[in-house]
Structure 1
Amino acid sequence: MKFRESFRPFAPMVPAECADEFFTLGQPAPYMSMASGVTDTTRERVPAIVHANGTSRLQTVTRAQNPFMHAVLTAFGRRTGVPVLINTSLNVKGKPICGTPEMALDCLANSGLDALLLEGRWITK
């Protein structure tokens, strides 16, 4: 999707209260600064977030820290059974990080992304 090198795994984010179901870190990780082992549930239900070495660069999200993202993760979990989403910069290999809505729409149109939440609007291809 982002055309990145295999040594750069995607980083998942999860509501803090659900982290133990998917990750073995056992402590908050609010800044994507720690790698965590994953549970069998993660390997079965979201294998794309598991790096070749069996870890993920985890971010836990609390309601107090980020109410909007916590609500998004919780709603996604209710809908899919998996309250885990990828957290990454919005760009593809060789391109700058998207800094405007126009750049974000261009990234959506020219990458493997399926949808984009942009300024309160859900946009799909």
Structure 2
Amino acid sequence: MLTWKDIISFSVNGNPTPDKRVEKTETEWKAQLTPEQFRVTRLKGTESPHSGALCTAHDAGKYNCVCCDTPLFDSTIKFSSGTGWPSFTQPIKENAIKYERDTTYGMVRVEVMCNTCDAHLAYISRWART
């Protein structure tokens, strides 16, 4: 089970090697994804809170990356965080998710990405909890 200490360590020292890598050009991603998916996953955008279909989904199963279809999370570890975005306590596998330290906008936070294709998933901002 990953802890905050593990996540901070990965974000500073490097992440586990993914099982595979998927790399495409910007043109290829644009052809595959909707404009909103491209904005969020490739341009590090944020969808509006409570706007995504997955926020209220409670079906059993796996949550895969919209870009490369890699399994990222399992429904058994999904919880309601009250943030308006789907929240999970753990990735499906330690090497499914990539964590990078982010200091944009005067904040210290961790960017959460798919470790297979680098799709932006979220930011978490509990840097001080190590």
User: TM-score interval w.r.t. the shorter chain?
Assistant: under 0.3
TM-score (norm 1): 0.27
TM-score (norm 2): 0.26
Report the structure, 1 or 2, having the larger helix content: 1
